[in-house]
Amino acid sequence: MANDTKKHRMERELAPNLEPEWTSKFLLELRLQGVSGQDIGVTLAEANSHCAESGESGAEAFGDPEEYARSLQLTPSPAQSSEAVRTAVLPTVVQLAGMLAVQATAAPLAKGEPLFEVTWGLIGSLIAIIIAVLLLARVAPALLRGIVKAKAWKSIAVFTGCFLVAAVAGALPVILLKDVAAQVPVWLVLVGGVVVLGGGAVWDYRSAYLKDMDLISQPDSGEFYGSATAKKVRWASTMLIPAFTLVMWIVFFVIVRAS
Amino acid sequence: MSSAEPSIEQPEPWPAEWLRATLNLSVLKIISTGPTYGYAIAGALAEAGFGDIKGGTLYPLLGRLTTAELISENWQPGAGGPGRKYYEITTAGRQQLRTQVGQWLTFSSAVGKHLSSSIDPTE
């Protein structure tokens, strides 16, 4: 099964003497418990070493992978606590706020309007989006466990549901509350938005959460699994919102200009 | 291992609760003879007559002993094969072993005396 080999490449590399299916369930359960990648790596390497010598399969030596993972009672890493996850999304919240401000200048700039009208709806939407992101970060660990353990269609339904609720909560105020709260020069909004967006991106890049990414250790080589990819992911993750903002701004500008 | 005794004959697995009560101390005893690793500990237990102790029982126990700081652990990369995690007894572990072995010998001789005296020879 070529597909199966590809699917379990990490499991085979980390624990060649265990069944990839067993390893996969074992890793998932430890990750859900919030155990650090360092501890996961050493624990898995020990199980692999045991089976290499005894000739047993993972299931024969350790029984059910999830029960075994729980019976080890490993201490959850502070970097994986819900507190840490909450802190980790803060740079994203800042970036989103910056993105909205930058985005809002595309239309007035295209039309050559010098003043930007801040409506009560815009303020409301901003608050709604920030609350939605913070709420999501708060329930993320519990939600993640539920989604991972549930059937695929259920997880998709939950995700879509959450996204729709957030989208409606974010869009409704802008549409309904058109009263102008303040008038601000467009260039000020643009510069402010860029500064906030850039600051959020730098904060994100330097945050501990992205910095070590809590990869699984490989005690034999002293390396971490996938650290080369992780560096790229760190960059890609930092550039995501600024790049998206730039593209959307240009698209908006061109569309408004043309019409 | 240092035990010169031949393997004890074991017609069927020992009751799980007997093992639960004695494994901690017995594993500590094995580790007290020098740094060793999981699979070797399982081998020493089998040789000592405990039967086939599975990894699923042994490693959580080693984890609890480590958390209690009775033993310490240390990864040693293998030459050409997978490495091993070595366990070493700590001063606190040695102390615990000394006290509890004394207690256990008193306890088991009391149990032995009690159980053998209650057999009715007329039956």
Q: What is the pTM of this model?
A: 0.73
Confidence of residue B120 (pLDDT cuts 50, 70, 90): low
pLDDT band per the 50, 70, 90 thresholds, residue B4:
very low
Interface confidence, given as ipTM, is 0.84
> Who wins on pLDDT, B20 or B102?
B102
The DSSP code sequence of B30-92 is: HHHTS-EEHHHHHHHHHHTT-----HHHHHHHHHHHHHTTSEEEEEE--SSS--EEEEEE-HH
**Out of B37, B60, B78, closest to residue A71 by CB:** B60
Q: Note the pLDDT tens digit of each residue in A172-213.
A: 887 888 888 888 899 999 999 999 999 999 988 887 566 667
Task: For A69-116, give the secondary structure using H, E and C.
Answer: HHHCCCCECHHHCHHHHHHHHHHHHHHHHHHHHHHHCHHHHHHCCCEE
- Residue that wins the pLDDT comparison between B13 and A45: A45
Count CB-CB contacts under 10 A for residue A87.
Answer: 14
Overall average pLDDT of the A80-86 stretch: 72
Which of A70, A75, A220 to probe by mutation at the B interface, max B CB count within 10 Å?
A220
* pLDDT recorded at residue B11: 67
Q: What angle do CA A247, A129, A165 make, to 5 degrees?
A: 100
Inspect the interface and report whether the beta carbons of A56 and B55 lie closer than 8 Å.
yes
Is there a contact between B60 and A62 if contact means CB atoms under 8 Å apart? no
Identify from B57, B59, B69 which residue to disrupt to test chain A contact, counting A C-beta atoms within 10 A and taking the largest count. Answer: B59
Helix, strand, coil share (%) of chain A residues, nearest 5: 75, 5, 15
Cβ of A73 and B38 within 8 Å? no
Minimal Cα–Cα distance from B108 to chain A, Å?
29
Among A15-19, A194-198, B118-122, the minimum mean pLDDT is found in B118-122
The residues that bridge with A139 in the sheet, in sequence order, are none
β-sheet bridge partners, residue B71 = B89
pLDDT digits (tens, 9 = 90+) for B43-74: 999 999 999 999 999 999 999 999 999 999 99
Which of these, B38, B48, B18, B112, lies nearest to B82 by C-alpha position? B38
Averaged pLDDT of chain A: 85
Q: How confident is the model at residue A70 (pLDDT cuts 50, 70, 90)?
A: very high
- Residues of B whose CB is below 8 A from A48: 82
pLDDT, residue B121, reads: 58
**Token representation of residue A18:** 């265990």
Residue of higher predicted confidence among B106 and A240: B106
Which tops the pLDDT comparison, A83 or A198?
A198
* CB-based contacts of A244, cutoff 8 Å, min separation 6: A99
Distance from CA of B88 to the nearest CA of A (A): 16
Share of chain A above pLDDT 70, in %: 93
A73 and B83 within 8 Å at the Cβ level: the answer is no
Which residue would you say has higher pLDDT here, A231 or B22? B22
Cα maximum dimension of chain B: 64
For residue range B66-112, list pLDDT tens digits in order: 999 999 999 998 877 889 999 999 999 999 999 999 999 999 999 99
pLDDT at A1: 45
Structure confidence at residue A210 (pLDDT)? 60
Q: What is the pLDDT of residue A4?
A: 56
In this predicted structure, what is the pLDDT of residue B1? 43
The pLDDT score that the predictor gives to residue B3 is 44
Average pLDDT value for residue range B18-36:
94
pLDDT at B106: 96
Query: What's the full length of chain A, in residues?
Result: 259
Nearest Cα residue to B78 out of A27, A23, A24, A48: A48
* Contact partners, residue A229, CB within 8 Å, separation at least 6: none
Angle between helices B38-47 and B16-32 (to 10 degrees): 110
- In this prediction, residue B46 carries a pLDDT of 93
* pLDDT tens per residue across span A93-133: 889 889 988 998 998 999 988 888 888 988 888 888 888 87
